[in-house]
Structure 1
Amino acid sequence: MAKSSKKIIIVLLHIVAWASFFLLPYIFSPQPKDIPEQVSKYILTLYIVINLYLLIFYYFNTLLLIPKLLFKKRWIIYVIIVGICMYGFTNVPRQISLWLNNTTETKIRSEFRPEYRRFDTANYSKNDTPNNAEWRKQYPPPMRSDNMNKRRNNRYFPGREAIFLLVLAVGLSISLLQQWLKVEQTKEEIEKEMLRTELSFLKTQINPHFFFNTLNNIYSLAITGSDKTASAILKLSAIMRYILTETKYDWVPIQSEIDFLNDYIELQKVRLTDNVALNVNINGTITNQKVAPLLFIPFVENAFKYGVSTVENSFIHINLNIKENSIVFSVENSIAANAGNTLTETTGIGIKNVERRLALLYPDMHKLTIEKEKNTFRVTLTLLKIV
């Protein structure tokens, strides 16, 4: 999804959320039908001003206070500013609403409770007030205690502090969630970059070692004056082209990897004698499957390096079985007498390289089996991930 589309969706979600929030008082606490017009206008104005105040505070808090103060651990300043905003919320909207309606709290209360109009508080005293229950019932005295005044002031908008704290809590929760998601996304990007760097490093470990051995073979042909030298150079050119152009990608077509293996095998054949039995079998249907490049070559290279003997009979069996949802690759070779016990030690770096690449590219989607018997070395690699 494009960034512009995401921004539009986010803006629409904010509009819908605020619209729903603004409508809640009218849904759950509708105004009485018989409320005086002056009071009705005042309450409507008060709701509008309160909502605008909350709207401004929300974005002031989430866009400025939280990132500039809270996330930078300037908690005391943050709490002081939020406290000032909360104090302003309990007073500023009411004063603005009174000013916009050109009225006072006394007028609003007198409109809302008609008995206040019939009672002159200025002339009220204990001496001239009849101590009569019926008179007091008809003309109740004003509520003069502080607690009663607070209750009377909250009559037009109950739970002001709770709603302010609710908006504050929602803003904090969303900001903290966004910060956490941002940190997780950054960590994920760093991990991916580290994986790409590690994979590139593993490839560079393969290439010099591979070219060194191949050039040694061509050098041997050139020294002996073999007529196969020119063909070997062409095969090496194709191999170099593949490594330089294709292996920069994480995945390559399986057919390209097969062609690369065939070129390498053909290049190795020029130094084989008649006492080496080489079998290469490729089975299955090749379509558009993809695999990681240079994944099979370390095993094939080891087979030619340690499985070929110029004195006694030896063998190399290479099998590649391509299925719909898996690839099974195996190499079995004899262990030449001159390899001795150095086979496992020498091939250890190459095998660890492949194992690490498999762990990065095929996590829980591969099986690598390495078996060494008396005179046989066998590797079987099963890939369960077909891109």
Structure 2
Amino acid sequence: MANTFINRHGYLLIQLLVLLGLLLLLCQPLAWNIELPVQFWVKQSFVFALWVGLFYLNIKLLVPRLLFRNRMGWFVLAILGAFVVVLFLFSAIDYWLNLPELMHRTFPDKIEAQSNNFSFRPHPIFSLTTLMLLGISTTISVVQKWQTDEASRQRLEKQKITSELSFLKAQINPHFFFNTLHSIYALTMINIETSREALHTLSRMMRYVLYETQSGTTLLSKEIEFMQDYINLMKLRLTEKVTVTFDKPNPVRDIPVAPMLFLPYVENAFKHGVSALLPSNIHIAIHQQAGIVELVVRNTVLPEKRVVLEESSGIGLANTSRRLDLLYPGQYTLAVTEKTPENEYRVHLKLNLS
């Protein structure tokens, strides 16, 4: 809105300056300090009106109706026609006002007597000024349309990105919710009291999802608390063979961050790095330095696991990558190592939020 206001008033100022320049050009004879016939000033007023009319005829009619509609041939013909008509009227006003004879009487030593017959001989300065006026008005219209189109394109792109982010976020949240409910359902078969605790933790997490993430950003400290709740929830169903560590900054320097941006990588580690029979490790770390936030997630690569549709879909990871592209273009690096020498799956996300 502010840019539109500035552009609109900027173009009005340019138009006023152009018209002021024309007026000063026509009023230059005032500096001669010589009394000129009234007919001369009538002609100057008429010429100014011609130029103003031609200026706005080109801006408001010829350029929008012809040039912007790809009718280049008609536009060139219209410009040439308008140029010839203006030159004709310039010559005609001299004839109608008998101005050559009057100017000869005023400047008998400088202006030769001319016949009072009509002749199509416009002054070179007038012709050049008319051509410049047509060029300036065309340029103003073209630049103004380009800026208007660019502003519209950016506005549409922003709306598209906002809609796409809303769609991606709507996909991620139910995906997370479905996975967590599936875990709690399995837990109810083993320990009712623990499952109650898990439901309480889940309710706190869902309040965060529903109420704390609607503005598009959240504080890093709240996002870390949310991750801690998720990790605690997942640890309730793990056996002694699984070791989970979570390193976080202390203290946390709060900065805005997209909500639930880190969760899919943590969730993926719990889905694919946990075994009830084999020793396994999950290591999650968040590092913060100035405006840079890093997430490192490592989990043990296990032998072939039972494949289920929910685990193989990869909805959360795919959407998170798309969210990163939309929200932090050129501000992040994401490195995924399928299998490190330590037999671990490793994700390293680095965000530059400065």
Normalised to the residue count of structure 2, the TM-score between the two structures is: 0.84
CA separation of 1:10 and 1:69: change in aligned 2, threshold 3 A: closer
Output one character per residue of 1:30-87: Cα deviation in whole Å (capped at 9) or x when no partner.
Answer: 7644x5532xx43333223212221122112211222123322445554554444333
Structure 1 residue identity aligned to 2:192 = S
1:294 equivalent in alignment to 2:293: no
**Structure 1 residue 201 displacement after superposition:** 2.8
Find 1:376's aligned residue among 334, 337, 344.
Answer: 344
What residue number does 1:65 align with? 62
What residue number does 1:37 align with? 36
What residue number does 2:293 align with? 327
Do 1:254 and 1:289's aligned partners in 2 also have CA atoms closer than 8 Å? yes
More moved, 90-99 vs 46-55: 90-99
**Structure 1 residue 219 displacement after superposition:** 0.6
CA separation of 1:259 and 1:66: change in aligned 2, threshold 3 A: same
Output one character per residue of 1:269-293: Cα deviation in whole Å (capped at 9) or x when no partner.
Answer: 2101222212111114434301122
What residue number does 1:253 align with? 219
What residue number does 1:105 align with? 99
1:358 equivalent in alignment to 2:352: no
Structure 2 residue identity aligned to 1:322 = Q
Distance 1:143 1:57 in 2: 29
Structure 1 residue identity aligned to 2:154 = E
Instruction: Map 1:255-294; keep pairs closer than 5 Å.
Output: 255-294=221-260
Distance 1:266 1:233 in 2: 12
Distance 1:376 1:199 in 2: 31
**Structure 1 residue 268 displacement after superposition:** 0.9
What residue number does 2:51 align with? 54
Task: Look up the SS of the partner of 1:227 in the other structure.
Answer: helix
Find 1:200's aligned residue among 138, 160, 166.
Answer: 166
Do 2:296 and 2:346's aligned partners in 1 also have CA atoms closer than 8 Å? yes
More moved, 294-303 vs 275-284: 275-284
What residue number does 2:20 align with? 19
**Structure 1 residue 17 displacement after superposition:** 3.4
1:367 equivalent in alignment to 2:333: yes
CA separation of 1:115 and 1:310: change in aligned 2, threshold 3 A: closer
**Structure 1 residue 97 displacement after superposition:** 7.3
Distance 1:221 1:179 in 2: 63
Mark the runs of 5 or more structure 1 residues left unpaired by the alignment. Answer: 118-139
Please tell me the root mean square deviation across aligned C-alpha atoms, in Å: 3.4
Distance 1:341 1:226 in 2: 28
Do 2:172 and 2:315's aligned partners in 1 also have CA atoms closer than 8 Å? no
Distance 1:17 1:106 in 2: 29
Mark the runs of 5 or more structure 2 residues left unpaired by the alignment. Answer: none
**Structure 1 residue 359 displacement after superposition:** 2.2
Distance 2:245 2:344 in 1: 15
Task: Look up the SS of the partner of 1:86 in the other structure.
Answer: helix
Distance 1:75 1:370 in 2: 54
CA separation of 1:114 and 1:217: change in aligned 2, threshold 3 A: closer
**Structure 1 residue 296 displacement after superposition:** 0.9
Do 2:286 and 2:295's aligned partners in 1 also have CA atoms closer than 8 Å? yes
Structure 2 residue identity aligned to 1:85 = A
Distance 1:211 1:311 in 2: 26
**Identity in percent:** 31
Output one character per residue of 1:285-323: Cα deviation in whole Å (capped at 9) or x when no partner.
Answer: 434301122211111111111222211222211111122
CA separation of 1:304 and 1:91: change in aligned 2, threshold 3 A: same
Output one character per residue of 1:336-365: Cα deviation in whole Å (capped at 9) or x when no partner.
Answer: 3453899xx937554333332222222222
**Structure 1 residue 224 displacement after superposition:** 2.7
